[in-house]
Amino acid sequence: MFSIRLGIKNLSRQKRRNIITILVIAFAFFGYLFLESLLNGMEEMSFDNIRDFETGDIQIAHPEYWPERKELPLDHLVEWNEIINDEIEKIKGVSGVSPELRFSANLNNGIDEMGVIGLGIIPENYNQVFKTQDYFSEGSLFALNENKAVIGERMAELMDLKMNDYIILLVRTREDTFNTIEVEIGGIVKTLNPIINSTIVLLPLHLVQQALNTENNVSMVSLKTNFGQEELAQQSIHEYFREEGLPLEAYSWRESAESVIALSTTKKSAIGIIMSVVLLIGMVGIINNIILSALERTSEIGMMKALGMKEWEIVFVFMVEAAGIGVMGGLAGCLLGFLGVNWLVNNGFYIEAWGDMTQYGIPILDRIYGVWNYYSFGYIFFLGVIVAILSSIFPAYWAAHKDPVEAIYQR
């Protein structure tokens, strides 16, 4: 009890040094909490952007098409019909079904050309699965029988295109023969997904099927599921395909988000590194503090030993002091972290100034918003206090181990 009281009392003896150590720990904790929130927010937004604009929650494709899908082939397409469509719509958890035909094309504006990804869609179905409809800056999504296209704002800027301009898409049919699709721009979108904004041209499905000679086939079918029912729906779809003997598979959106998943793995490593640095800062601060305290109090330690205090009791005094610094540093860090994360969650971090993040595989534009992770606050606090206590043991033992006579005379 005496050791605890002495330890707590010692906290107030070197106020300036202790405050500096507490602040160092607090800022390290704040940095960790802030960056973790930012990275988690980046991950969550990336996942949402992929699901809401590119893949839906589940994608149905031919198993031989799936590994080649990035090459946008016109082989191994899905023979989609109303019967299958209706059956899939009836599956529990499925809230939207959007057949789509993906193809590569060269977009011509009469002066320049650029490589784009064409996407033949049924507007009504597409709106059930994707959120693009909420992000039109001009015009609207075409009707199925219209010869119109929707492009992203970035693409419009690059190719100097405006509403009602006509574009020519140079495509290759299933037989590899060049063909053209000539359409009017009926809408321009600015979504949260940079791929949609710069690479995708949305077109009516039947127009694309006709130009590519693919009959009624589609490349993939994207599905929207109710919250938390993705796996259940995926399983039911698998069973339906097996029962009907259809050569199709249902894939989770995660399989299309490899780059972002890879980013997520990198994120975990980054968080681990940040955590190590934070704890190292805390450890160095505490060790430095205890060594300085021990050096200042060498004669005092000798006197305490001469009066009969045991070594472990002296070590305990320093441990209490370190624990106190750890607790105060942790609390201050959590408070700063709370303020920082709160700002990040509500205002977001403006990333456009950092340049085009899409080139690093981060499908986010404009701002990254943070997310709350209350578990991290508790985790970093307790881990910080434990590390502070453990860091104090060695220098405290070094101080307590001194010979009392030599310590009193400070030799």
Partner 1 sequence: MPKPKINKLIFITIIIFTILFSLTNSGLAMATKQMTAEEIMKKRDENEYIQSAYAEVTMIISKGGRGIEKNMVMYSREKDAFVEFTNPGDRGTKFLKRDDNIWMFFPDAEEIVKISGHMLEQGFMGSDFSYQDMMEFDKLTDLYTFTILEEDTFTNRPCYVLEAIAIPGKKVSYYRRVTWIDKERFVGLKEELHAESGRLLKVSEVQEIKEIDGHWLPIQVVMENKLRRDTYTRSIIKEIELNPELDERLFNLENLH
Site for partner 1, rule CB under 8 A: 71-73, 104-106, 108, 110-113, 115, 168, 170, 172-173, 175-182, 211, 213
Cβ closest to partner 1, residue 115 vs residue 247: 115
Cβ atoms of 219 and 65 closer than 8 Å: yes
Cβ atoms of 384 and 279 closer than 8 Å: yes
From CA 146, how far away is CA 46, in angstroms rounded? 33
Q: Is 170 helix (H, G, I), strand (E, B) or coil?
A: strand
Please calculate the CA angle 53-57-60 and round it to the nearest 5 degrees.
100
**What's the number of CA atoms in the CB half-sphere (13 Å) around residue 263?**
22
Cβ closest to partner 1, residue 70 vs residue 310: 70
Our CA dihedral for 248, 249, 254, 258, rounded to 10 degrees, sits at -70
Name the residue type at position 113: E
Q: How far is the CB of 73 from partner 1 (least distance, A)?
A: 8
Cβ closest to partner 1, residue 177 vs residue 410: 177
Cβ closest to partner 1, residue 33 vs residue 212: 212
Q: How far is the CB of 182 from partner 1 (least distance, A)?
A: 8
Residue positions counted in the chain: 411
b/e 85-119 (16+ beta carbons within 10 angstroms → b): eebbeebebbbbbbbbbbbbbebbbeeeeeebebb
Cβ closest to partner 1, residue 1 vs residue 111: 111
Cβ closest to partner 1, residue 173 vs residue 288: 173
Name the residue type at position 366: D
Q: How far is the CB of 391 from partner 1 (least distance, A)?
A: 48
Cβ closest to partner 1, residue 212 vs residue 218: 212
From CA 103, how far away is CA 100, in angstroms rounded? 10
From CA 81, how far away is CA 87, in angstroms rounded? 10
Q: What is the CA radius of gyration of the chain?
A: 31
User: If residue 263 lies in a helix (H) or strand (E), which one and from where to where?
Assistant: helix 258-296
**Closest listed residue to residue 222, CA positions, set 350, 75, 121, 145:** 121
Relative to beta strand 178-189, strand 249-252 is unpaired
Q: How far is the CB of 211 from partner 1 (least distance, A)?
A: 7
From CA 397, how far away is CA 296, in angstroms rounded? 15
Cβ closest to partner 1, residue 155 vs residue 364: 155
Q: How far is the CB of 123 from partner 1 (least distance, A)?
A: 23
Q: How far is the CB of 206 from partner 1 (least distance, A)?
A: 15
* 104 phi and psi angles, rounded to 5 deg: -95, 150
Cβ atoms of 196 and 133 closer than 8 Å: no
Q: How far is the CB of 161 from partner 1 (least distance, A)?
A: 15
From CA 318, how far away is CA 372, in angstroms rounded? 35
Q: How far is the CB of 108 from partner 1 (least distance, A)?
A: 4
Q: How far is the CB of 158 from partner 1 (least distance, A)?
A: 15
Cβ closest to partner 1, residue 113 vs residue 184: 113
- Unique residue bearing structure tokens 């893949």: 55
* 193 phi and psi angles, rounded to 5 deg: -105, 115
Cβ closest to partner 1, residue 198 vs residue 225: 198
Q: How far is the CB of 207 from partner 1 (least distance, A)?
A: 11
